[in-house]
Amino acid sequence: MGFKGLLLAAAFISAARVLTFFLPTQGASDLGEMPHIESESGQPYSSLPSAVFPFSPDAEVHNPVQAEPNISQAPSFTAGCQSAGSAVVTVYAGREIGSGSIVSPDGLVLTNNHVVNRLRRRSLYVETLEGNRYNGQVIATDRRNDLALLQIETQAMLPIVQLASNQIVEVGQSVCAIGSPLGEAGVVTEGRLLKIRSNGDLESDVLLKPGSSGGPLLNAQGEMIGVNKGVAKRSKTGKSDRNSFATSIDAVKEFMQQNRLGSP
């Protein structure tokens, strides 16, 4: 190869390097994209973001049951939902705020994995509706079903959210959610169960907001039938029914049985 040939080869290699540097790698995902799953209807839904602590003191916080009711409910239904309120806690995981359910008197708390998965070395504690605070730690997670189990430090016997039988979960039944949207504890929203998806997830029309993640979806008796985890993602046209999604009680029971301390 002559001198001109060497120069041409060197120029070709340099051009190839420049193209390699500027062309995006095939299959690379966009940073910051919220994870979502395609629903059976083709409408994606995404994990509901946690509220960030400290949030703005000027943020508008209100009880959606009073201001934005989804449907009219009998007083007995509301009373059944609110009976579980003392066992629903606000989860403070570093700068993230979510919700959780006390599921054993010795301090096991069920919440979403996405509420605690960025905790790292930051502190974790929960606060009850009465204002009692307990330090805790994550003892198990399930990324596929977006579940996490916490153990809080307490010598007291705590109230619990009762788990419903999966045989009594039916489309059309009245449901409610309890959580801490924007850090306001004990907010109840009501609606109906719209669909049981093929993977077992529950779709309802209860209103959820940041901070509601990890709270219970309850039946009229105040029993947990699911763990709230996300809302319908808006389409490109900006339209969305904003339905909410919860991990089913079947998946919850299996997760707890596999990961409870002291279980075989």
Q: Is the pLDDT of residue 214 over 80?
A: yes
Q: Is the pLDDT of residue 33 over 60?
A: no
The identity of residue 139, as a single letter, is I
Distance CA(191)–CA(174), nearest Å, equals 6
**pLDDT at res. 9:** 54
Catalytic residue among 39, 46, 50, 146: 146
The lowest-confidence range among 76-90, 184-198, 244-258 is 76-90
| Half-sphere CA count of 99, side-chain side, radius 13 A | 35
**pLDDT at res. 82:** 83
The identity of residue 153, as a single letter, is E
User: Domains of the chain, with CATH numbers?
Assistant: 44-52+68-259 (2.40.10.120)
Q: Is the pLDDT of residue 127 over 50?
A: yes
Q: Is the pLDDT of residue 163 over 80?
A: yes
Please work out, in degrees rounded to the nearest 5, the angle formed at the alpha carbon of residue 188 by the alpha carbons of 174 and 81. 50
Minimal CA–CA distance to 161: which of 207, 212, 104?
104
**pLDDT at res. 59:** 31
Q: Is the pTM of this model over 0.75?
A: no
**pLDDT at res. 255:** 96
Name the percent of the chain lying above pLDDT 90.
53
The lowest-confidence range among 2-6, 25-29, 108-112, 148-152 is 25-29
Q: Is the pLDDT of residue 70 over 60?
A: no
Name the percent of the chain lying above pLDDT 70.
66
The identity of residue 20, as a single letter, is T
Q: Is the pLDDT of residue 262 over 90?
A: no
Minimal CA–CA distance to 144: which of 51, 254, 262, 223?
254
Minimal CA–CA distance to 252: which of 162, 129, 154?
162
Task: Give the H or E element holding residue 80.
Answer: helix 75-82
CA distances from 36 to 27, 33, 230 (A): 17, 9, 9
What is the rounded average pLDDT of the residues 51-66? 34
The identity of residue 4, as a single letter, is K
Catalytic residue among 114, 180, 204, 212: 114
- In the structure encoding, which two tokens stand for residue 45, read together? 């839904």
Catalytic residue among 39, 46, 47, 213: 213
E-state strands within 197-242: 202-204, 216-218, 224-232
More confident site: 256 or 12: 256
Q: Is the pLDDT of residue 112 over 70?
A: yes
Return all residues near 257 (Cβ < 8 A) that are at least 6 apart: 263
The identity of residue 26, as a single letter, is Q
**Does 201 participate in catalysis according to the annotation?**
no
Task: Give the H or E element holding residue 99.
Answer: strand 96-104
Band the pLDDT of 140: cuts 50, 70, 90: very high
Minimal CA–CA distance to 140: which of 256, 219, 28, 238?
256
Q: Is the pLDDT of residue 18 over 80?
A: no
Band the pLDDT of 98: cuts 50, 70, 90: very high
Residue 232 φ then ψ, to 5°: -65, 135
Please work out, in degrees rounded to the nearest 5, the angle formed at the alpha carbon of residue 109 by the alpha carbons of 106 and 115. 155
**Does 205 participate in catalysis according to the annotation?**
no
pLDDT digits (tens, 9 = 90+) for 215-242: 999 999 999 999 999 988 765 555 555 7
**Does 114 participate in catalysis according to the annotation?**
yes
**pLDDT at res. 47:** 59
Cβ–Cβ < 8 Å for 186, 158: no
The lowest-confidence range among 9-18, 21-30, 124-133, 199-208 is 21-30
Q: Is the pLDDT of residue 7 over 60?
A: no
Give the distance, in angstroms, between the CA of residue 75 and the centroid of all CA atoms in the same chain: 28
